[in-house]
Structure 1
Amino acid sequence: MNRRKKIKDIYDKRMKQANLKVNPKKSKPKYISKAERAKMEAEAAANPSAEITTETADTNETTDV
């Protein structure tokens, strides 16, 4: 019985690893460093009108459909 259990445990462990590799969890967002976040915030502060125009353009496209 022990031999069969060991073989089954090894098989289950390998299957679990294979399934995790095929279907990784993507709940965590990609890491953005503190310097990158500061850079993005600075760009957003420098161009606030650019963000507004792109948002309005997106909404206009959806209303046209």
Structure 2
Amino acid sequence: MNRKKKLTQIHKKRVKAVAAKNSGKKKSGYVSKAERAKLEAAAEAEHSTQAPEQNQDQDQDQDQDQN
């Protein structure tokens, strides 16, 4: 019984290792603190440029509604 159990364990271990190797990566690569700061600054810059455009569109809509 012990020999059979040991062979089964070895087989399961090898199958698990192959499955893990073929499954691909779950995590993304490391992003440094400086790179995160750059990405955050770019996102804020993009957000700040979109806000005035939206306000102008809303103002134009309100002007049209009043006329």
| Rg comparison, structure with higher value | 2
Q: Could you list the runs of 5+ residues in structure 2 that have no partner in the other structure?
A: 51-67
Structure 1: segments with no counterpart, 5+ residues: 53-65
% identity of equivalent residues: 51
The structure with higher relative contact order (CA 8 Å, sep 6+) is 1
Q: Could you give the per-residue CA deviations for residues 11-34 of structure 1, whole angstroms, max 9, x where no partner exists?
A: 1101100001001352x3332110
Q: Could you tell me how far apart the structure 1 residues matched to 2:10 and 2:32 are? A: 39
Superposition RMSD in Å: 2.5
1:1-65 superposed matches below 5 A: 1-26=1-26, 28-44=27-43, 48=46
- TM-score when normalising by structure 1: 0.54
Structure 1: 4+ residue segments shifted above 4 A: 43-46
Q: Which has the higher helix share?
A: 2
